[in-house]
Amino acid sequence: MLAGGCLMKHASFVGDSLLGRGVNVDAFCATTGLRRDGGPVKEPAVDSITVMLDGRRIITVQTKFGAVIGDGVALPARTVLAPGTLIGPGTVLYPRGHLGATVSALLPAARAPGSSLINSPSLSVSSP
C-alpha cells in the first residue's frame, strides 16, 4: 500500500509492504516479504513473519509481510529490506559504500599520503 506523494521513478520492487507519505524509493530497491531462514522456499509459505518493536517480538500472522516505511523516508539505491523491517518516519538511511563527513577526520589511515580506503576489508568506497 502506498500513501500519497510516494516516488518510485526507477526499476524497483515493493511488495507486501506499507509506505508512508512522501517516501522516495530510489533505483533497484526491493522489499522482500518471504522468510528465507529455514532452507528452501516453500510455496505456499507457512511460516509467519515476526517483527521487533520496542524490544518485543510481534507475530504478524502473515506468511508474506514486507516492510513498514514511515513518512518522509528516502531509500537509497540498491536497498534491500528483509521481511518485517520497520523504518520510523523521517529516518535517514545512508547508501552502502558512501562515506559522509571528512574521512580523514574519522580514520587516521586516510591521512597518510597515497593511502586508499578502497582495499580496506571493513569499508567500501564508491563514487556518488
Q: What string of pLDDT tens digits covers the 128 residues of the chain? A: 878 899 898 999 999 999 999 999 999 999 988 877 767 777 787 788 888 888 889 888 888 899 999 999 999 988 989 888 999 999 888 776 554 444 444 444 444 444 444 433 343 333 33
Show me where the domains of the chain are located.
Answer: 1-91, 98-128
Residue type, 41: V
Reduced to 3 states, what is the DSSP secondary structure of residue 103?
helix
| Rg from Cα positions in the chain | 18
The span from the first CA to the last CA of the chain, in angstroms, equals 31
Whole-model pTM: value is 0.69
Q: Which helix (H) or strand (E) holds 104?
A: helix 103-106
Calculate ∠ Cα 71-98-100, nearest 5°.
Answer: 80
The C-alpha atoms of residue 125 and residue 128 are separated, in whole angstroms, by: 9
The CATH number that domain 1-91 falls under is: 2.160.10.10
Return the SS3 of 111.
helix
